[in-house]
Amino acid sequence: MADRFLVSEVQQVGIESSPGSAAVPTIQFQALNIDIDTALEVDEFKPSGQLPQSIVAPRQEWSSGSLTGYPTYTEIAYALSNVLGAATVTTPTGATTTRRWLWEPSPSTPWTPKTWTLRRGVSGGTAEEANYVLMSGLGLTFSRTSAPEISGDLFAQRLNYAATLAATGVTARNNVPILPAQGDIYLDATSGGLGTTKLLRDFEYQWSISDLFNMIWPINSALPSFAAHSVQAPTIDSMLRMGNDSAGTALVTNMRAGSTVFVRFRATGATDSIESGFAYRLTIDTALKVMDAPNRGDENGLSTLEWSFRNVYDATWGKFVSVELLTDFATL
């Protein structure tokens, strides 16, 4: 049997029509990596008077892992759809190839995630396949002095170790990275004012949702792995590191009053990068409440304040988060 080298391993992803329904791979990510392995729960028993175990019995088998990578204006649609469900996709007025993807998940009704089928292996050699690949959360970090990050934990049904890679039909999207120099952050007191007040001494922005999904395990001998996923109350957080100046200390008022602030992160690609009049763009709007006292820090000698927030539902706005992506394709 030929050796399998890590550097030669390929990851292919297919979008499932329904969670757990195996899909033929159609895309090979260029800026996202999926690390996944078998997870196993085993029960053990040792009778009195005996030193070694007499029973070591498998109980649950699934796959567990994580997603990491560099956020791009194209592949981020796959990660967002996996966690937040299908976007509403429209064509902006005057556009031809530009598409507007919008995620505004309900604060109460569970949304249906766009799960993946993953194949990982080497061409002409061995490979594994996992169905029902589902991210239980997603994290995004943007800074001017370090590479942007996208991450999230994930789980899937048990691995098939006898799979093979797809030989045809797998393509890669136009790879357009979200550059650190393309970002702006706005902080406003009302949802109607979102995008008005641009921050000038802002150094890092994070938004994350975690522990959103879990596995359902019915007693059913026909099921080799978990049957479906459940929706849990997630933790939705944000962090903003600002200068220790009048803008940074203004949030003390919100902290003490428990009032909501509205933050917009927007990254915009090069002019006409999709077509004439339209550029790649990612916008994340959130309603936030301060959840902790600020931590004082040091940004290359500049005094900073790191503010931690909880992402909350705002009744006037009617949302807790709105994510808009302008990109160059209409379907996953």
Residues in the chain: 332
What are 119's strand-pairing partners? 12, 129
Q: pTM score > 0.85 for this model?
A: yes
pLDDT of 1: 67
pLDDT of 2: 80
Distance (Å, whole) CA 183 – CA 31: 19
pLDDT of 155: 98
Tens digit of pLDDT at every position of the chain (332 positions): 688 999 999 999 999 999 999 999 999 999 999 999 999 999 999 999 999 999 999 999 999 999 999 999 999 999 999 999 999 999 999 999 999 999 999 999 888 999 999 999 999 899 999 999 999 999 999 999 999 999 999 999 999 999 999 999 999 999 999 999 999 999 999 999 999 999 999 999 999 999 999 999 999 999 999 999 999 999 999 999 999 999 999 999 999 999 999 999 999 999 999 999 999 999 999 999 999 999 999 999 999 999 999 999 999 999 999 999 999 999 99
pLDDT of 110: 85
pLDDT of 157: 98
- What are the DSSP calls for 231-293, one per residue? E---EEEEEEEEESSHHHHTHHHHHHHT--EEEEEEEE-STTSSBTTB--EEEEEEEEEE-SP
User: Is residue 87 helix, strand or coil?
Assistant: coil
pLDDT of 48: 97
